[in-house]
Structure 1
Amino acid sequence: MSSAKPRDIKDANRKAATRLYPTRNDIPEKQREQIVALMNARLAELIDLSLVIKQVHWNLKGLQFIGVHEMLDGFRAGIDGHVDEVAERLVQLGGTALGTTQSVSQNTSLEPYPTNIHKVVDHLKALADHYAATGAAVRKSIDDTSELGDEDTSDLLTGVSRTLDSNLWFIEAHLQEGE
């Protein structure tokens, strides 16, 4: 049985997560460190958004329930695919993907999702805000990774951005009904 204290484990995990592992990837280490940190932030937001989508999916009530409920299944699958791509890319660069609930909670820039709402329209408004915030962070990271000389990561994030914008469009179309 280990004699490690929780704080010792947290400190060891933090050090391991920030250390780059050897790779033959020719992007300079200094840039890779910045890209890995940036991608871990996007990973946290995408995992957060994925969990939010499930929160909405489970708790919708009212008119249009079934249509929105089923739409969210596809949204979740698409985001989960991007979560995997982002995590794998940062590992390819020598980093450690930080996907635990504790890491996500600490690293997401998204506002906490309200758990006291149930109406379809209320969920769609809150979900649209989360999609918009995630999309803005991803678009900034497209530019940042390009400036850091990593067009592959920039391209990957462009695909993520397209999915986020497409899903946001569907959500906003539901909200514009009758306006």
Structure 2
Amino acid sequence: MSNEHTQEVLNQTVADLSKAAALVHQVHWYMRGPGFLSLHPKMDELMDDLNGHLDEFAERLITIGGSPVSTLAEFNEISKIEMSTATWEKSIANRLTEIVIAYKYLTDLFKDGIKIAEEDGDDVTVDLYTTALGDIEKTIWMLQAELGQ
């Protein structure tokens, strides 16, 4: 059975997690205002979580015979996560909302990854996506709670 579709979704995931980590890093650097002292270190935590998942997905892709994208140009070209040049004018709430939007996109991607990997009979990849989905959904809940949503 071919795993071409699983390789494709894994590479999409590598690009999107890389760009999501860049977005969180941008928020980390450009954060100002009430909540800074607790949210600034939280962004480090989010980056660590994203990079942990990124490594797992990239290594899985290599394990099943694929080649992960690995350049900033590839990440930017392939990723569907929106990101713009930072300014100091955005509030912390606006910045957290940008992360929530990106993470909601990731939940859809991970659900697609589960379906595609199931169709390819790849239970290990299904498990990786399931674990990552739970983590991302929990983070969305926490960010939305911080935003009062």
Would you identify which runs of 4 or more consecutive aligned residues in structure 1 move more than 6 Å?
Answer: none
Tell me the distance in 1 between the aligned counterparts of 2:102 and 2:113.
Answer: 17
Indicate the RMSD between aligned Cα atoms, in angstroms: 1.3
Cα deviations across residues 144-171 of structure 1 (Å, max 9, x unaligned)? Answer: 1111211110111111111111111111
> Which residue of 122, 128, 132 corresponds with 1:156?
128
Which position in structure 1 is the counterpart of 2:26?
55
Tell me the distance in 1 between the aligned counterparts of 2:109 and 2:116.
Answer: 10
Cα deviations across residues 93-145 of structure 1 (Å, max 9, x unaligned)? Answer: 11111121011011101122462353111101111111111111111211111
TM-score calculated relative to the size of structure 1: 0.78
Which position in structure 2 is the counterpart of 1:170?
142
TM-score calculated relative to the size of structure 2: 0.93
Higher mean alpha-carbon deviation, 44-53 vs 117-126, is at: 117-126
Tell me the distance in 2 between the aligned counterparts of 1:40 and 1:130.
Answer: 17
Which position in structure 1 is the counterpart of 2:37?
66
Which position in structure 1 is the counterpart of 2:102?
130
State the identity as a percent: 25
> Which residue of 84, 92, 96 corresponds with 2:63?
92
Return the structure number with greater relative CO, CA threshold 8 A, min gap 6.
2
CA contact (8 A) 2:23 2:83 kept: no
SS of structure 1 residue aligned to 2:3: helix
Larger Rg: 1
